[in-house]
């Protein structure tokens, strides 16, 4: 099972066993995404950087896929991911392997 499938499985589990909490979480994140003037692609690139900063491999894959589906290029995604490395140093650099894996799946 790849990371995207694991992510979908986790979301399905939450929807089944914690629908109220998961629903509130989705409502909260959708509210944040609807405020201000940032475009959807910019928001996803920010989420790529935050996913690397949080060292969440499932989040990295999910947000890279979302950014790519909105038109982000490999270079856009790498730039966003490397911003986390600039702020977080070596530990974040190690998580770039998840970025490279997700990009290879999408762009090659």
Residue 2 has a pLDDT of 81
User: What does pLDDT average to in each consecutive run of 10 residues of the chain (108 residues)?
Assistant: 84 94 92 86 96 93 95 98 92 90 90
Give all domains of the chain, ordered by start, each with its CATH number.
3-107 (1.20.1290.10)
Residues 65, 70: Cα–Cα separation, whole Å: 9
Q: What is the widest separation between alpha-carbon atoms in the chain? A: 39
Looking at the chain, the whole-number percentage of residues with pLDDT higher than 70 is 100
Give rounded-to-5 percent helix, strand, coil for the chain.
85, 0, 15
Nearest in space to 68 (alpha carbons), one of 47, 50, 93, 97: 47
pTM, two decimals, is 0.83
pLDDT at 55: 93
């Amino acid at each position: 099972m790849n990371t995207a499938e694991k992510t979908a499985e986790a979301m399905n589990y939450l929807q089944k066993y914690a629908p109220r909490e998961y629903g509130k979480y989705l409502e909260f994140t959708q509210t944040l995404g609807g405020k201000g003037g940032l475009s959807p692609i910019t928001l996803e690139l920010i989420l790529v950087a935050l996913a690397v900063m949080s060292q969440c491999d499932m989040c990295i894959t999910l947000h890279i896929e979302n950014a790519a589906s909105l038109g982000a290029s490999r270079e856009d995604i790498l730039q966003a991911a490397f911003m986390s490395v600039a702020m977080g140093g070596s530990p974040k650099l190690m998580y770039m392997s998840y970025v490279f894996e997700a990009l290879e799946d999408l762009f090659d």
